[in-house]
Structure 1
Amino acid sequence: MPARTGKYFILTISTLLLLGLGVLAADQAAWAAPNIEALKMTPNTDGTQTYSVTIQILTIMTLLTLLPAMLMMMTSFTRIVVVFAILRQAIGLQQTPSNQILVGLALFLTFFIMTPVWERINVEALQPYLNEEITSLTALQRAQIPVREFMLAQTRESDLTTFAHIGGYQGFATEEEIPLTILVPSFVTSELKTAFQMGFMLFIPFLIVDLVVASILMAMGMMMLSPIIISLPFKIMLFVLIDGWSLVIGTLAASYGF
């Protein structure tokens, strides 16, 4: 599974880079013209050479800056990383696991969850485009379909209505009419709400441990002793005994239909 996941992640990145050329082009025919080169070399009279970078390279560089935002805002990454952060806070650990570990775990879990979507993009958009069966614009339109379906499946109707009202839309007859400018913020808002709901459920058992420890210390007259010092080992032990990481990761994956 990791090898397949990495392969489809690389293919998806390639799709975004290649297909983005068709989105930003003002004239699709101009992109397909054989006389347009990605890098043009002009010899000078003194024997030196001058290189001119065309707009294709600039487009790719621009897409590279947008890829992290697209990965966070249009995939399951937001929900996962927020739940992990709330879990760490609920246990009472400030820096363990570190931010790098949580982000890395969230990133690879995102690859796992998004693999079916990236497989469809590879089959329906990337491979036909690489085989020169379809144009870049058609490939981009095909690549949007699996991503839109994934986001729509996780987006609440109330959030869509809210952002449609803010954007001045009266409503949408079909899901295909929903623009990405409305769908993406609605999806992110729904993901944050779901993540906080899951985080609240994670907080309850650890809160109970804190209350029990605090009550015992109060009954013993040890009011100057911080309950966190005593409850932290018990919360860690409880989390390990119930195999907490597997439960949390399994619940996150199950929330997307796995």
Structure 2
Amino acid sequence: MNEFIPGIDLDLFNDEPANVATTIQLLLILTVLSLAPSILILMTAFTRIVIVLSFVRTGLATQQMPPNQVLIGLALFLTFFIMAPVFSEVNEQALTPFLDGEIGQEEAFDRAATPMKEFMANHTREKDLALFMGYAGLDRPESIDDIPLTALVPAFAISELKTAFQIGFLIFVPFLVIDMIVASVLMAMGMMMLPPVMIALPFKILLFVMVDGWYLVVQSLLLSY
């Protein structure tokens, strides 16, 4: 029976450098794959898009319509659409040369980080970046290459959160006006026991459809980048 069972070599640090290098590459690939969701959320346009879409649903007060799967799926495809030039540059400058064996891992990482840094720096407030640079005791950077990812990523994330909440506030205003008008009318008619949210919901949906709300929201998101 034993002759049919293949042997498994668990000695990762043997005397053959090629095997060690392959093992390290596999470990790095697995590490990157495990961090991929965090990279997608915090280093791309996904954060702003999914928060704004959530604000739209909350403003409409439609509970789970559209469902989370639809919002996240739409946010993902919008993220890929917005980030397509950046991903293409990363693929051309870093991924393809690395897979072809033309450059090493460190150089591939540096090349891949440059387009991502440029994108994040263009949408990061100077105040947010200065917060993390100052806390880390780093000097004022002369160029984007001098900004470490450990400071740029959280600065970009809080900048995206502020921008998303600003857009969300503007989305909430017309819906809030409708709620106030409906509540005032119901109170004036003496219908205090009738929930204003139930009456305002169809008017909000009607307004959102008449102005082509999804088109305007997606257009605003695209123009914001």
Whether TM exceeds 0.5 here: the answer is: yes
- What residue number does 1:197 align with? 166
- What residue number does 2:214 align with? 245
Q: Could you tell me which of 142, 152, 169 is aligned with 2:111?
A: 142
Q: Could you tell me which of 83, 86, 89 is aligned with 2:55?
A: 86
Q: CA deviation at 1:59?
A: 2.5
Q: 1:46 to 1:93 in 2, by over 3 A?
A: closer
Q: 1:96 to 1:46 in 2, by over 3 A?
A: closer
- What residue number does 1:101 align with? 70
**Aligned partners of 2:98 and 2:108 also within 8 Å:** yes
For 1:150 and 1:170, the matched residues in 2 are separated by 21
- What residue number does 1:123 align with? 92
Q: 1:211 to 1:132 in 2, by over 3 A?
A: same
For 2:111 and 2:29, the matched residues in 1 are separated by 20
Q: CA deviation at 1:173?
A: 2.8
Aligned-partner residue type, residue 93 of structure 1: T
Q: CA deviation at 1:57?
A: 2.6
- What residue number does 1:111 align with? 80
| SS of equivalent to 1:133 | coil
| SS of equivalent to 1:50 | coil
Q: 1:132 to 1:211 in 2, by over 3 A?
A: same
Deviates more, 1:133-142 or 1:215-224: 133-142
State percent identity of aligned pairs: 53
Structure 2 residue 125 is the aligned partner of structure 1 residue 167: no
Q: Could you tell me which of 206, 213, 227 is aligned with 2:182?
A: 213
For 2:214 and 2:176, the matched residues in 1 are separated by 18
Query: Unaligned 5+ residue runs, structure 2?
Result: 13-22
Q: Deviations over 1:144-182 (max 9, x none)?
A: 111000000000001011111222224223332111010
Q: Deviations over 1:23-75 (max 9, x none)?
A: xxxxxxxxxxxxxxxxxxxxx99975224363433332222110010000100
Structure 2 residue 13 is the aligned partner of structure 1 residue 56: no
For 1:47 and 1:239, the matched residues in 2 are separated by 64
- What residue number does 1:133 align with? 102
TM-score (norm 2): 0.89
Q: 1:178 to 1:118 in 2, by over 3 A?
A: same
- What residue number does 2:204 align with? 235
For 2:209 and 2:63, the matched residues in 1 are separated by 18
Number of equivalenced pairs: 213
TM-score (norm 1): 0.78
- What residue number does 2:151 align with? 182
For 1:250 and 1:58, the matched residues in 2 are separated by 41
Q: Deviations over 1:107-152 (max 9, x none)?
A: 1110000000011112222222233332232222111111000000
For 1:90 and 1:224, the matched residues in 2 are separated by 22
For 1:134 and 1:154, the matched residues in 2 are separated by 30
For 2:39 and 2:5, the matched residues in 1 are separated by 44
For 2:151 and 2:26, the matched residues in 1 are separated by 29
CA RMSD of aligned residues (A): 1.8
**Aligned partners of 2:117 and 2:144 also within 8 Å:** no
Q: 1:62 to 1:108 in 2, by over 3 A?
A: same
Query: Unaligned 5+ residue runs, structure 1?
Result: 1-43
For 1:58 and 1:174, the matched residues in 2 are separated by 32
